Structure 1
Amino acid sequence: MLMAQVHSCIDSFKNCPMLDFLSSHSSAMDSLQRRRFNAHVRHILCAVCSALTLFAVCQSIAEGSRNRIQIVVASREIARGQQLSSEDLSLISIPESSVTRHFVHTIEAADGKQSQTTLSAGQPLPSNAISEGLSIAAGHTSIQIQLASVPSQLSIGDTVRLVSSASCSKAGSDIVTEDGSATQPTEDPDLHSANAESDLVLTSVCTLARQAQVLSIAEPSDDSLLNSITANSEDQSLVTFCVSPEEAVAILSQQQQGPILAVSG
């Protein structure tokens, strides 16, 4: 854009009637006078073009400074499910565009919220990547589970069903339903392997909780006690759920018998 303005300036000088007059005037001079006159004209043109170029640069800088906007970025690596604080965030100034409206613009808007995704240092914070921290419902408790499988795009606030392939008889606890009656964790025979050619068919699963709400999602830590339960813990996800006390007892007992999965729907 800047070079286009300079070329436009030069073209306008080429078509200037004054240059035609000066050219016809210089033809009447001798060769020495003509060379001096042409050099003087060139110096004037160069000075004018330089001034216009400097003006265009200053105008471009001023326009860019007027159209900049502040957005929030991660000042250090942020894990999924982590509660954000002002120390985790910082502000940078970038040129305003159609995508900047999708980012968080003040640290206060993100302080105390939970991150829905993992962010690296310097990465902008999208507006849909933060959420309010959920509270535990009355008569319920929270439990952190290392899941062997989770639904894709699992988010804080989602409700899922927690199941295990181990027999429900190993859960060792009754679950109190909403109507107050006690029941054992239930076997669900309707779930089976999606691969029809597989020799291994899952004929039933043990449902430990039917309405487990996701409170937070975190990456597995090396010093977590749950990491010792399975040998392949680095591939699993640590998720905190809101469940009833009876469901929590059944889950604690069942997770020592085999992997626990979260099923949506």
Structure 2
Amino acid sequence: MKIWKVLVKSAVLIGILFQDTEDMLERSRKEGVRALVSVTEHSREFERLIRLSESYPGFLMPCFGVHPIQNNGDGPRSVTMKDLEAALLWFEKYQKDLVAIGEVGLDFTPWLTPTAKEREEQLKVLKLQLDFAKQWDLPVNVHSRSAGRQTIEFLKEQGIEKALLHNFAGRPSAALDGVKAGYFFSFPPAVTKNNQREKVIRQIPLENICLETDSPALGPNREERNVPWNIHIPCEYIAQVKGLSPETVWEATTHNALRLFQKMNHKLNK
């Protein structure tokens, strides 16, 4: 499971299935994090996320989603409709508590999704979850590894108006198609190690950028667990790339996150 963390000035991800989860949440508060938006990857995480959000009202914001790559302990594999079926009752039961649908999307990494049949299955799973987002007027948090352009085109075809393409690694031209559709793009601390991502960041308007950590993954150093308070790293990097002050990036990305995750505005005031 991951957490979308929205600092007073941003939005981020953090893992929450560790024994020290509550310690991490408390430390995040002390470090200045105002709120966290948590995204799931499979239905086994749903109940725990709801319970945590009940323990941290106005701070931990839940999202449900079935990720395009699943791992039941026997190695990663492409998602199937059976994986989604196990989640359907949870979606219906807790839809009023959710601030977004995610993490959902497409992953066409060749060694994970080698066949056309598997890619078609991913599209079916994604479509049904996009239907939930439209029905409940929720944004979607989207994974698009090795499928940046395909993902954006599919979102547009399905009539999605509110989307966050997290850790987007597609071509700048694909990103600009998403910008035209009104989508947002977020970048984690690991972006500082990827020169290709700099080109994307240069071309995406600041009005379409959010921040993330994707904790516990995608931190500044692979050998270390990523944490939510690393949110300042992508902020400072984006500021450097765009020739802006970090304060300007903080302010803009906070505004963007609250525009995208609109239900947060009510929950933050609880």
Fold equivalence (TM over 0.5)? no
TM-score tier, shorter chain, comes to under 0.3
| Structure exhibiting the larger radius of gyration computed from Cα positions | 1
Normalized per residue, which structure has more strand?
1
Normalization by structure 2: what TM-score? 0.20
